[in-house]
């Protein structure tokens, strides 16, 4: 008896289990443990695998609501093959959302499918119609309010078609939108099931698409003898904006400690005039909320913020959780630090790098919880109040993950426009986890991806939904810490190569001042700059001969004009039969824009290659003719057929950027663009130098 009872309970449990499977929802990060990322300018593609036993017809829809709201909004999803369902949500407003997928068996669609199948197979549909009629009658009931009234009226029309044997018209009416809407609101939803809720974070467009320029304010006076100020920075803005950059990033601007101050080239002893590393935060004049006195006043700071806005730019500030031994926190809050037995503190490090001039507070000291966490949050709040909406976070991987997850969520709760960039050059697992914890953008391994295979793998991974749903790579070509070997040895062409890869491969790229004049002098056998600006004033002439300002300007202009260049998504590696030519396409789903980029990775020697034009992506046969625009020279020409040939002289221009122009539909007549343009299928012409544009 007991056995029988247990069996019955087990059966009832099985019966209560969902009959419909909802799986592989995207966007979702770790099954909803972390928020997927979207931005307010972009529609959100939602997809899921949804299926059931047998041949039951399903209805599937996506539900979404702002976090904290009780009301769900709904949008139907459509099948796209292999049990996959999809829809596109119109761009959402800034903020945090929840998504869920809901599905149920649709008796109406089951009846309709059967009726249609019988008809298409040439059989009578009398029986199927009676089933349908009974179903609709039951739904309409005796109600005379919409939607019942709509259904009753439609039923009359359906019966007339049925009586006259007009099955095609009957079917058309059964597909009628008003009828389906009425049915949807009245019909039962057997076996209805809803997925778990998946968080989605909608950020500003600049979280996904921005061009950064980094400089040290102290070097902007034009003289090695005078410490630069924020006013000097304001004077530089027009020329930085003219290159097309829209974010100005400054390393820490706080007072710099004296104790263990570093000297030139990272020496452990500073000379009397050495300004010290700006990352050694905190001195008599204050800590993280103070401004280094030599840079100016807080009024100057707010003038800088205003001047940036006038230029259509904005500021990114460093947020570095560390202290010089002279930071006021060491005196005021000794309990935030992990003191050694001899009364000293262990200096910070990011192995193998050693940071002898700073110490890091201990997030889990009894006195530090919650005081230190809140104090750090208040530092960010202070700068937000002063107009900073972007923070580049120094070394986040050496601080606890729960701290970042809490801090970012807390700040964004009040300031959804705030963007955090994670500077974590560390193991992939940590780099990725920081992005999941909420960082809007992440430094990446781009700087060290140079050959074709490595670049292909790198960009394919970043473009994949699995990664792009939570991690946005920031492609810096150089940083004050990284003077890449490729730039050290590749001459001017190397700078152009790296610039075009970064500016076209992803939505976020950045240069550190000096890149535009191909600065590359290095410490021997090190990826570090000689006389690094981190330890001394380094005024430079950023218009020095040989500069690549025109090329950078063109790249930023192309990025602004072409949505395909504003994202890491939509990357496809194409065939160019030469190991030194990296050739890829960028295309944003839902647009007809196809950009092709070919980069000669060899900075000194001419390279040639046959390459394939992805005519198939435009729905064209292999022997079609396609109009092409060379986006660097402005020339228009044709390519006849799928296989073309390129020749690139890196000393002239180590890259090509083309736009494929979709052929006009037959009603539009011949393309205006192609009229009168000679094209022999070859792109061996060198076109104009970028300086000519």
Ligand X SMILES: O=P(O)(O)O[C@H]1O[C@H](CO)[C@@H](O[C@H]2O[C@H](CO)[C@@H](O)[C@H](O)[C@H]2O)[C@H](O)[C@H]1O
Annotated binding-site ranges? 262, 322, 357, 395, 534-535
Pick one of 37, 449, 534, 569: the residue that binds ligand X (CB under 6 A). Answer: 534
Q: Are 74 and 509 in contact (CB under 8 A)?
A: no
Facing residues of 442 across strands?
A: 422, 473
Q: What character string, x for contact with ligand X (CB under 6 A) and - otherwise, covers 326-365?
A: ------------------------x--x-x-xx-------
Q: Least distance in Å: CB of 665 to ligand X?
A: 52
> To the nearest whole angstrom, how small is the minimum distance from the Cβ of residue 601 to ligand X?
26
Q: Which residue, 129 or 446, has its beta carbon nearer to ligand X?
A: 446
Write down the least CB distance from residue 636 to ligand X, Å.
44
Q: Taking the CA of residue 375 as centre, how many other CA atoms within 13 Å lie in the half-sphere pointing to its CB? A: 18
CB of 392 to ligand X, least distance (A): 9
Binding site members for alpha-maltose 1-phosphate: 262, 322, 357, 395, 534-535
Binding residues for ligand X restricted to 69-88, rule: CB under 6 A: none
For the CA atoms of the chain, what is the radius of gyration? Answer: 31
**Which residue, among 315, 310, 309, has the nearest Cα to 212 in the 3D structure?**
315
| 615-641 burial code (b ≥16 CB/10 A, e <16) | beebebeeebebbbbbbbbebbbbbee
Residues 254-313 close enough to bind ligand X by CB under 6 A: 262, 266, 277, 279-280
* Residues recognised as catalytic: 394, 423
- x/- map, 436-475, ligand X, by CB under 6 A: ----------------------------------------
**And the tokens for 238?**
């027009």
- Reference 29, options 340, 467, 385, 449; nearest CA is 467
Q: Which is nearer to ligand X, 259 or 311 (CB)?
A: 259
Q: What are phi and psi of 446, to 5 degrees?
A: -50, -45
- β partners of residue 625: 640
- Cβ-based nearer residue to ligand X, 318 or 627: 318
Residue 395 makes contact with ligand X by CB under 6 A: yes
Which residues are paired to 585 by β-bridges?
A: 572, 596
- Minimum CB–partner distance for residue 542 and ligand X (Å): 21
- Nearest residue to 320 via CA among 363, 275, 360: 360
Whose Cβ is closer to ligand X: residue 265's or residue 465's? 265
Residue 431 in the binding site for ligand X (CB under 6 A): no
User: Minimum distance between the CB of residue 355 and ligand X, rounded to whole angstroms?
Assistant: 4
If the CB atoms of residues 309 and 427 are measured against ligand X, the closer one turns out to be 427
Q: Residue from 423, 516, 533, 627 that binds ligand X (CB under 6 A)?
A: 423
Residue 82 Ramachandran class (φ > 0 left, ψ -120 to 50 alpha, else beta): left
CB closer to ligand X, 447 vs 607 = 447
Tell me the C-alpha distance between 658 and 629, whole Å.
6
Question: Judged by CB under 6 A, does residue 425 bind ligand X?
Answer: yes
Count of residues that bind ligand X according to CB under 6 A = 19
Q: How far apart are the C-alpha atoms of 329 and 144, rounded to whole Å?
A: 74
Among 214, 246, 394, 516, binds ligand X (CB under 6 A): 394
CB 555 within 8 A of CB 500: yes
Determine if 512 is a binding residue for ligand X (CB under 6 A). no
Which H or E run includes 503?
helix 485-505
How far is 562 from 573, CA to CA, in rounded Å? 19
Shortest distance, CB of residue 610 to ligand X, whole angstroms?
42
Task: Closer to ligand X by CB, 216 or 459: give it.
Answer: 216
As a whole number of angstroms, the distance between CA 436 and CA 467 comes to 10
**Residue with Cβ nearer ligand X (268 or 454):** 268
Virtual torsion, Cα 26, 29, 35, 40, nearest 10 deg: -40
Contact string 25-54 vs ligand X (x = CB under 6 A) = ------------------------------
Q: Cβ of 679: how many Cβ atoms within 10 Å? A: 17
352 preceded by cis ω (within 30°)? yes
Distance of alpha carbon 523 from alpha carbon 518, whole angstroms = 16
Nearest approach in angstroms of CB 270 to ligand X is 11
Q: What are the strands, taking DSSP E only, across 106-167?
A: none
- Pick out residues in 481-500 that bind ligand X (CB under 6 A): 481
| Among the listed residues 654, 647, 680, the one whose alpha carbon sits nearest the alpha carbon of residue 601 | 654
Sites of contact with ligand X (CB under 6 A): 262, 266, 277, 279-280, 320, 322, 350, 353, 355, 357-358, 394-395, 423, 425, 480-481, 534
């Amino acid at each position: 008896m007991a056995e029988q009872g247990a069996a019955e309970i087990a059966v009832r449990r099985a019966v209560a289990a969902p009959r419909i499977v909802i799986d592989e929802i995207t966007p979702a990060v770790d099954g909803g443990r972390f928020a997927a990322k979207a931005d307010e300018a972009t529609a959100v593609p939602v997809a899921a695998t949804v299926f059931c036993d047998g041949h039951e017809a399903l209805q599937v829809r996506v539900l979404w609501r702002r976090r904290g709201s009780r009301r769900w909004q709904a949008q139907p999803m459509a099948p796209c093959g292999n049990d996959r369902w999809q829809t596109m949500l119109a761009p959402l407003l800034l903020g945090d959302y929840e998504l869920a997928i809901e599905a149920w068996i649709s008796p109406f669609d089951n009846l309709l499918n059967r009726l249609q199948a019988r008809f298409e197979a040439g059989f009578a549909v009398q029986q199927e119609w009676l089933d349908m009629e009974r179903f609709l009658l039951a739904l309409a009931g005796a109600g005379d309010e919409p939607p019942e009234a709509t259904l009753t009226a439609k039923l009359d029309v359906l019966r007339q078609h049925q009586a006259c044997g007009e099955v095609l018209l009957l079917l058309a009416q059964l597909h009628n939108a008003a009828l389906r809407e009425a049915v949807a609101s009245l019909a039962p939803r057997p076996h209805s099931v809803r997925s778990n809720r998946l968080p989605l974070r909608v950020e500003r467009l600049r979280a996904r698409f921005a061009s950064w320029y980094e400089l040290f304010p102290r070097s902007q006076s034009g003289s090695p003898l005078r410490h630069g100020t924020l006013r000097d920075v304001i004077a530089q803005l027009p020329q930085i904006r003219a290159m097309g950059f829209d974010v100005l990033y400054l390393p820490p601007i706080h007072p710099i400690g004296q104790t263990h101050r570093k000297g030139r080239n990272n020496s452990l002893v500073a000379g009397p005039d050495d300004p010290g590393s700006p990352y050694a935060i905190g001195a008599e004049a204050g800590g993280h909320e103070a401004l280094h006195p030599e840079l100016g006043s807080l009024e100057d700071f707010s003038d800088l913020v205003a001047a940036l806005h006038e230029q259509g730019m904005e500021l990114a500030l460093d947020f570095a959780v560390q202290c010089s031994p002279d930071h006021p926190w060491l005196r005021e809050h000794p309990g935030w630090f992990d003191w050694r037995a001899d009364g000293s503190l262990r200096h910070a490090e990011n192995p193998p790098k050693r940071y002898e001039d700073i110490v890091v507070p201990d997030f889990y000291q009894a006195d530090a919880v919650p005081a230190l966490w809140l104090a750090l949050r208040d530092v960010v709040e202070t700068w937000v109040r002063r107009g900073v909406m972007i923070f580049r976070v120094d070394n986040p991987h050496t601080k606890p993950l729960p701290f970042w997850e809490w801090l970012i969520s807390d700040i964004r709760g009040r300031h959804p426009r705030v963007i955090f960039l994670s500077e974590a050059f560390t193991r992939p697992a940590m780099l990725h986890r920081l992005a999941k914890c909420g960082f809007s953008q992440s430094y990446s391994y781009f700087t060290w991806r140079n050959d074709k295979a490595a670049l292909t793998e790198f960009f394919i991974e970043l473009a994949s939904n699995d990664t792009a749903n939570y991690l946005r790579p920031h492609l810096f070509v150089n940083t004050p810490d990284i003077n890449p070997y490729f730039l050290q040895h590749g001459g001017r062409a190397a700078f152009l190569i790296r610039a075009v890869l970064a500016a076209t491969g992803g939505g976020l790229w950045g240069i550190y001042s000096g890149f535009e004049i191909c600065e590359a002098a290095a410490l021997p056998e090190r990826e570090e700059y000689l006389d690094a600006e981190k330890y001394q004033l380094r005024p430079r002439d950023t218009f020095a001969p040989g500069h690549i300002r025109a090329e950078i300007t063109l790249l930023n202009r192309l990025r602004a004009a072409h949505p395909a260049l504003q994202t890491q998504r939509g990357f496809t590696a194409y065939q160019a039969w030469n190991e030194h030519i990296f050739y890829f396409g960028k295309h944003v789903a839902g647009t007809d824009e196809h950009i092709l980029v070919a980069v000669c990775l060899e900075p000194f020697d001419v390279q040639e290659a046959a390459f394939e034009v992805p005519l198939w992506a435009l729905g064209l046969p292999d022997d079609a003719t396609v109009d092409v625009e060379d986006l660097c020279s402005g020339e228009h020409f044709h390519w006849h057929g799928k296989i073309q040939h390129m020749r690139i002289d890196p000393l002239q221009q180590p890259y090509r950027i083309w736009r494929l122009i979709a052929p006009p539909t037959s009603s539009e007549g011949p393309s205006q663009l192609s009229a009168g343009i000679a094209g022999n299928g070859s792109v061996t012409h060198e076109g104009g130098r970028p300086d000519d544009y």
